[in-house]
């Protein structure tokens, strides 16, 4: 059985991380390394992690990362740890407060295996949004089985904990970071776009994880319809969110244009070049760019205000 590595960043997660580790150890995929790096927790997170070591089923290992690097922040904790991890056939990313269904890894790897492993490829799946006690709230919105680049330019169906990639993807990821040398602001979004550039982005709409939204999480999924509108106005009208997305698209075009199909190259010109002609082409782009109608209208309004620069 091929090797799968799960990257699990931890920080002040004593309340929920045990349930997540248990769900990883219950995976039907047997050849599994769980690489955990604590980012300087001030609670009993480390004690909880250590309590599981030595109790792993056959074929599964919990591998704590020990270093003196202190607090790196979430993004560097995840991706520096991934970069230093031992090579494997497939890689997954895990948040400390979610719960995975037992067949998650097996189903995602099976899909990637069926497509071949010599080209960078990414599979992601659906999920159930839950409250802090894992009570069901709603399902993630469906997406096409093989989303194209347009489907992930301004929409974000692919969250980090839903991602499984092959080894070719890891090699390409670290060899093709933005030209400033740093990790993207939204690495999961970057990874989805990168996979779409290669034409190897696959989706499973079945929910394979419970996405726990606790009180401290700053996310759209924590809001009611009215508060969500206020939250978006702050981030997209008064905040710098459009500029971050625009930079990501410019960086993506600069790095991955050589592997894009001609149609995607032309689309990225429209989305990243500032001109009067491109302004109107963006505004009246013929295809849907967001899955929800209200979000599509909001995006077109932001195009009208010329916000993505």
What tens digit of pLDDT does each residue of 166-208 get? 999 999 999 999 988 899 999 999 999 999 999 999 999 999 9
Question: Quick check: 94 and 27 in contact, CB under 8 A?
Answer: no
User: Whole-angstrom Cα distance, residue 210 to residue 134?
Assistant: 7
Distance CA 59, CA 30 (A): 5
Residue 302 confidence class, pLDDT cut points 50, 70, 90:
very high
**Which pair of structure tokens corresponds to residue 135?**
């009570």
SS3 281: helix
CA distance 90 to 123: 11
User: pLDDT, tens digit, for every residue of 252-264?
Assistant: 999 999 999 999 9
> CB within 8 A of 77, min separation 6: which ones?
9, 11, 37, 39
- Count of C-beta atoms within a 10 Å radius of residue 67: 11
Q: Above 80 in pLDDT, residue 52? A: yes
- Among the listed residues 69, 62, 80, the one whose alpha carbon sits nearest the alpha carbon of residue 5: 62
Residue listed under structure tokens 């500032």? 274
Q: Is the pLDDT of residue 270 over 60?
A: yes
Q: Are 164 and 91 in contact (CB under 8 A)?
A: yes
Q: Looking at the DSSP assignment, which residues form a beta bridge with residue 138?
A: 129
- Helix/strand/coil (H/E/C) assignment for every residue in 199-253: CCEEEEEEEEEEEECCCCCCCHHHCCHHHHHHHHHHHHHHCCHHHHHHHHHHHHH
CATH of domain 4-212: 3.90.550.10
Split at pLDDT 50, 70, 90, the class of 97 is: very high
Token pair for residue 306? Answer: 């010329």
**pTM, whole model, 2 decimals?**
0.93
What whole-number distance in Å separates Cα of residue 37 and Cα of residue 78? Answer: 8
User: What is the separation, in whole angstroms, between the first and last Cα of the chain?
Assistant: 47
How confident is the prediction for the chain on average, in pLDDT?
Answer: 93
| Residue showing tokens 């092959």 | 166
The structural domains of the chain, with segments of one domain joined by +, span: 4-212, 220-304
Token pair recorded at residue 295: 């979000």
- For residue 243, the 8-state DSSP code is H
């Amino acid at each position: 059985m091929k090797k799968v590595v799960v990257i699990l960043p931890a920080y002040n997660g004593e309340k929920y991380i045990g349930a997540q580790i248990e769900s990883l150890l219950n995976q039907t995929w047997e050849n599994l390394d769980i690489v955990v790096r604590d980012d300087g927790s001030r609670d009993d997170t480390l004690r909880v992690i250590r309590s599981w070591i030595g109790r792993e089923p056959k074929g599964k290992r919990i591998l704590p990362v020990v270093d003196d690097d202190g607090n790196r922040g979430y993004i560097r904790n995840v991706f520096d740890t991934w970069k230093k991890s031992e090579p494997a056939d497939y890689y997954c990313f895990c948040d400390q407060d979610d719960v995975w269904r037992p067949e998650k890894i097996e189903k995602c790897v099976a899909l990637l295996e069926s497509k071949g492993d010599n080209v960078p490829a990414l599979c992601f799946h659906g999920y159930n949004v839950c409250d802090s006690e894992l009570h069901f709230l709603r399902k993630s919105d469906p997406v096409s089985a093989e989303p194209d680049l347009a489907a992930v330019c301004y929409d974000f169906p692919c969250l980090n904990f839903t991602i499984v990639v092959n080894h070719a993807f890891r090699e390409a990821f670290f060899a093709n970071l933005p030209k400033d040398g740093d990790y993207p602001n939204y690495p999961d979004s970057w990874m989805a776009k990168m996979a779409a550039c290669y034409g190897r982005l696959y989706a499973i709409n079945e929910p394979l994880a419970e996405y726990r939204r606790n009180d401290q999480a700053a996310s759209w999924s924590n809001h009611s319809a009215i508060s969500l509108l206020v939250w978006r106005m702050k981030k997209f009208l008064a905040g710098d969110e459009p500029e971050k997305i625009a930079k990501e698209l410019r960086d993506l075009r600069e790095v991955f244009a050589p592997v894009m199909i001609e149609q995607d190259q032309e689309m990225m010109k429209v989305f990243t070049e500032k001109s009067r002609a491109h302004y109107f082409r963006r505004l009246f782009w013929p295809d849907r760019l967001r899955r929800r109608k209200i979000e599509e209208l909001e995006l077109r309004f932001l195009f009208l205000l010329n916000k993505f620069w």
